[in-house]
């Protein structure tokens, strides 16, 4: 068996063990949190008797000992059945979770793309026009972006662009009930994506500017200019390529941060992604959905890590897997 295949099998087996550990951890954390799905179901203003609540717990299987509950979940999960949501219509968890991954990826992808494009462009511009009016303006904007908390920018953005100016819809991913239209999707996407990108844009901009300034003073850049290379080529080909190396590392970590930011943005804009699903599920103590979502996200991250490691090996011959 080729060492690469062995390595992949080893990593996959380790991943399964990690997912098992993750499921135990999430299961125990959920049970340690105050209140269960039945507690979340009761409207305190329309009281129910503890007898009725006990009947509900029996119906949901919550009266069983914890190991029994966990093993029942695990047995079903192994067959691909992650159970049913305890809220409302009792949707099957797996399709429910999968249906929320796409919107989150779209929002995150758009937000990070905006951050990368504007962050790098702003950073380059700031470095090229160092200490000029443009640089000063971009620096002020970057500091504002970095220091503005997401909850503030999201709410201010919502109020200004959706409520006051009515340029974009105030929430959701598509106009409810309307047939799908790309323009409709983009109109709903633009504000949350821009707001999600603000902090990251500012950060990338500062990193790019600092990195570019360092590179622009390097001997090879001076040599390129002395050889009569056009300024655009000097900046874009000679300087930017090298300046981007630390920025790329930053962008990698930005993706992780963006997941956290997306949870908040999705709540504010009612964006039907994983963040909104998780927030709603946690509020309702919807154990099957929280467990299922954690498992799917965990599997996704493990798979991405494996693919990244394989990609490193493919790109850099010095790195060997297996």
Neighbours of 243 (CB within 10 A): 25
Smaller CB separation from other proteins, 58 or 305: 58
Residue with smaller CB distance to other proteins, 158 or 262? 158
Q: Judged by CB under 8 A, does residue 267 bind other proteins? A: yes
Separation of alpha carbons 148 and 194, rounded Å: 14
170 binds other proteins, rule: CB under 8 A: yes
Q: Cα dist. 58→62, 64, 69, 270 in Å?
A: 6, 8, 12, 33
Q: How far is the CB of 256 from other proteins (least distance, A)?
A: 23
User: In this chain, which stretch among 13-21, 145-153, 220-228, 263-271 interacts with other proteins, using CB under 8 A?
Assistant: 263-271
Residue 121 and residue 113 in contact, taking contact as beta carbons nearer than 8 Å:
no
Instruction: Enumerate residues 90-119 that contact other proteins by CB under 8 A.
Output: 90-91, 96, 99, 114, 117-118
Q: Which is nearer to other proteins, 59 or 222 (CB)?
A: 59
Q: Which is nearer to other proteins, 217 or 233 (CB)?
A: 233
- Cα–Cα distances in Å, from 236 out to 51, 55, 124, 242, 246? 72, 69, 9, 10, 16
Residue among 72, 136, 156, 186 that touches other proteins (CB under 8 A): 186
Among 24, 144, 172, 314, binds other proteins (CB under 8 A): 172
Q: How many residues make contact with other proteins (CB under 8 A)?
A: 85
Binding residue (CB under 8 A) for other proteins from 8, 18, 19, 42: 42
Among 1, 2, 32, 51, binds other proteins (CB under 8 A): 51
CB 119 within 8 A of CB 113: no
Q: How far apart are CA 279 and CA 265, in angstroms?
A: 12
Choose, by CB under 8 A, the member of 25, 28, 29, 54 that binds other proteins. 54
Q: Give the CA dihedral 239, 241, 247, 248, nearest 10 degrees.
A: 180
Q: Which is nearer to other proteins, 199 or 273 (CB)?
A: 273
Tell me how far, at minimum, the Cβ of 268 lies from other proteins, in Å: 7
The rounded radius of gyration (Å) of the Cα atoms in the chain is 25
d(CA 48, CA 50): 7
Interaction of residue 198 with other proteins, rule CB under 8 A: no
- Cα–Cα dist 221/218, whole Å: 6
3-state secondary structure of 61: coil
Q: For the chain, first and last CA: distance in Å?
A: 11
Please identify which residue in 140, 152, 167, 257 interacts with other proteins, judged by CB under 8 A.
167
Give the CA angle between residues 78, 14, 259 to the nearest 5°.
Answer: 80
| Angle, CA of 116, 169 and 204, to the nearest 5° | 15
CB of 162 to other proteins, least distance (A): 5
Q: Does the protein bind other proteins through residue 241 (CB under 8 A)? A: no
Which positions from 59 through 78 interact with other proteins, judged by CB under 8 A? Answer: 59
Q: In terms of CB distance, is 3 or 35 closer to other proteins?
A: 35
123 interacts with other proteins by CB under 8 A: no
Q: Indicate the residue among 152 and 155 with the shorter CB distance to other proteins.
A: 155
* Binds other proteins (CB under 8 A): choice among 52, 71, 245, 303: 52
Beta bridge partners of residue 84, listed in sequence order: 92
């Amino acid at each position: 068996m080729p060492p690469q295949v062995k390595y992949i099998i080893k990593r996959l087996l380790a991943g399964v063990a990690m997912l098992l550990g993750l499921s135990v951890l999430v299961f125990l954390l959920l049970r340690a949190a105050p209140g269960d799905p039945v507690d979340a179901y009761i409207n305190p203003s329309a009281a129910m008797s503890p007898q009725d609540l006990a009947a509900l717990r029996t119906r949901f299987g919550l009266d069983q000992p914890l190991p029994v509950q966990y093993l029942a979940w695990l047995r079903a999960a192994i067959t691909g059945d992650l159970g049913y949501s305890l809220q409302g219509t009792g949707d099957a968890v797996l399709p429910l979770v999968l249906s929320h991954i796409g919107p989150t990826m779209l929002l995150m992808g758009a937000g990070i793309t905006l951050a990368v494009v504007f962050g790098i462009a702003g950073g380059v511009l700031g470095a090229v026009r160092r200490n000029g009016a443009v640089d000063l303006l971009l620096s002020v904007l970057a500091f504002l972006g970095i220091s503005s908390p997401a909850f503030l920018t999201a709410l201010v953005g919502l109020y200004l662009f959706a409520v006051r100016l009515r340029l974009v819809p105030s929430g959701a991913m598509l106009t409810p009930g309307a047939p799908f239209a790309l323009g409709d999707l983009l109109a709903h996407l633009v504000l949350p994506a821009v707001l999600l990108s603000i902090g990251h844009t500012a950060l990338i901009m500062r990193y790019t500017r600092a990195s570019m300034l360092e590179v622009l003073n390097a001997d090879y850049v001076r040599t390129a200019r002395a050889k009569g290379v056009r300024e655009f080529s000097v900046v874009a080909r000679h300087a930017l390529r090298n300046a981007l190396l630390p920025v790329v590392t930053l962008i990698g970590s930005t993706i992780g941060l963006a997941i956290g930011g997306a949870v908040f943005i999705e709540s504010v804009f009612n964006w039907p992604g994983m963040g909104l699903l998780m927030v709603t599920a946690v509020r309702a103590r919807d154990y099957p959905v929280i467990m299922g979502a954690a498992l799917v996200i965990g599997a996704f991250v493990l798979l991405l890590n494996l693919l990244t490691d394989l990609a490193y090996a493919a790109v850099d011959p010095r790195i060997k897997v297996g």
